Chain A
């Protein structure tokens, strides 16, 4: 569920086919993403999953789709 929703956000932001997104997809290596892209995605994640603001240190650890799924899951579990 989390993964599917995230794929839609990623596909929309990076202009890619959601079917091609995997847990291992790397933002930098596969999408040539920069730090603004990561912040932009995480702001969309905050809204979509009704999370509070993503902390700065969490942003630094996000490298792959799997990292985002893990982060969302942890935040959802907290609530």
Chain B
């Protein structure tokens, strides 16, 4: 198993990325291709002293895509950027999966242009896992596509359904549409149309559609796969992150009030630490780019070494599990003219 890593993408690149890559090679037993500026990457690699140096190779790329670059045009302008070179290597079959903590927009554009979407997929989607009372729910899409047609929403539902089966070990994940009411008449035209298509597919046993999910039911884990357009998904994701941090901060304030509350705080501290861990992107790893013909994982932009290693672990499971092939089959069956 060989994972290609964009060594120059992310707030803490290349330092944290190289350290995370070395941890991944040492602890997960995978081969790594680090793509980036050799003059910066090699000395960092030397400092990390990997246990298995043969597992890690460096592929030079002279340019870096920044968050300020236009994501659509930059992938054609900066042809020798670490992100574009890494994607091209993946497209050419030089590795089994790719991980980047760089620009989400550039990754989406580059993946579409150089690795290509699965045939029949209209839009690739970014799908992070949200922490919920039942463990976690996959959110498809969280920002790759601001507006979506019913066709895209239905494709997101199937992509999420198959990904969670392979990646999260769920046998028959519950798929819901994020909407402003539970009734099937709620929402935009696209949501109502998607509802009817998914309802029919569910009745035919092709998917486990549980209907519309309201915002307040998301933290309860009302569905294992939450489907929405990228605009809605991004608001949901950031709201949950914000509310979680607000809650942790407030609880801390309460426990720090006086000696008695501090004592009580000390007792519940391990539990609170666990809760904070649930919200920590360093633990989760990254979000897959669903709908692309090869496994790609977007690590959080602020990823440290641990987060990067976890994103690599996720990429390994994604590549080994065969979710791409399952998605490909399901999309082919959805296409007009198919018997499926």
Q: What residues of chain B lie closer than 8 Å to A39, measured between beta carbons?
A: 72, 76, 109, 113
CB interface residues, A 28-45, toward B, < 8 Å: 32, 34-36, 39-40, 43
Q: In the complex, A32 Cα to B122 Cα: how many Å?
A: 9
Q: How many A-B contacts at CB < 8 Å in the complex? A: 22
CB interface residues, B 93-121, toward A, < 8 Å: 108-109, 112-113, 120
Q: How far is the CB of A35 from chain B (nearest CB, A)?
A: 5
On whether the beta carbons of A43 and B149 are closer than 8 Å, the reply is no
Contact A40-B76, Cβ < 8 Å, known A15-B335, A32-B149: no
On whether the beta carbons of B120 and A36 are closer than 8 Å, the reply is no
Partner of B113, one of A36, A53, A56: A36
Q: How far is the CB of B184 from chain A (nearest CB, A)?
A: 23
Which chain B residue has the least Cβ–Cβ distance from A42?
B76
Q: In the complex, A36 Cα to B292 Cα: how many Å?
A: 14
Q: In the complex, A7 Cα to B215 Cα: how many Å?
A: 43
On whether the beta carbons of A43 and B113 are closer than 8 Å, the reply is yes
Q: In the complex, A43 Cα to B76 Cα: how many Å?
A: 10
Which chain A residue has the least Cβ–Cβ distance from B72?
A35
B residues contacting the other copy or chain, number (CB 8 A): 13
Q: What residues of chain B lie closer than 8 Å to A56, measured between beta carbons?
A: 73
Partner of B108, one of A32, A36, A43: A36
Q: In the complex, A56 Cα to B73 Cα: how many Å?
A: 7
A residues contacting the other copy or chain, number (CB 8 A): 10
B291-335 to A contact mask, C-beta < 8 Å, 1/0 = 000000000000000000000000000000000000000000001
Q: In the complex, A36 Cα to B116 Cα: how many Å?
A: 11
On whether the beta carbons of A15 and B113 are closer than 8 Å, the reply is no
On whether the beta carbons of A53 and B108 are closer than 8 Å, the reply is no
Q: In the complex, A34 Cα to B147 Cα: how many Å?
A: 10
A32-64 to B contact mask, C-beta < 8 Å, 1/0 = 101110011001000000000100100000000
Partner of A15, one of B73, B108, B109, B120: B120
On whether the beta carbons of B112 and A40 are closer than 8 Å, the reply is yes
On whether the beta carbons of B335 and A36 are closer than 8 Å, the reply is no
Q: In the complex, A22 Cα to B73 Cα: how many Å?
A: 28
CB interface residues, A 3-36, toward B, < 8 Å: 15, 32, 34-36
Q: How far is the CB of A32 from chain B (nearest CB, A)?
A: 6
On whether the beta carbons of A36 and B149 are closer than 8 Å, the reply is no
Q: In the complex, A15 Cα to B149 Cα: how many Å?
A: 15
On whether the beta carbons of A36 and B73 are closer than 8 Å, the reply is no
On whether the beta carbons of B335 and A40 are closer than 8 Å, the reply is no
On whether the beta carbons of B112 and A36 are closer than 8 Å, the reply is yes
Q: In the complex, A56 Cα to B108 Cα: how many Å?
A: 18
Q: What residues of chain B lie closer than 8 Å to A53, measured between beta carbons?
A: 76
Apart from the given pairs A39-B72, A39-B109, A53-B76, 14 other A-B contacts in the complex at a CB distance below 8 Å: A15-B120, A15-B122, A32-B122, A32-B149, A34-B123, A35-B72, A36-B72, A36-B108, A36-B109, A36-B112, A39-B76, A39-B113, A43-B113, A56-B73
Q: Which 9 A-B pairs have the closest CB atoms?
A: A35-B72, A36-B112, A36-B109, A32-B149, A56-B73, A40-B113, A40-B112, A43-B113, A39-B72
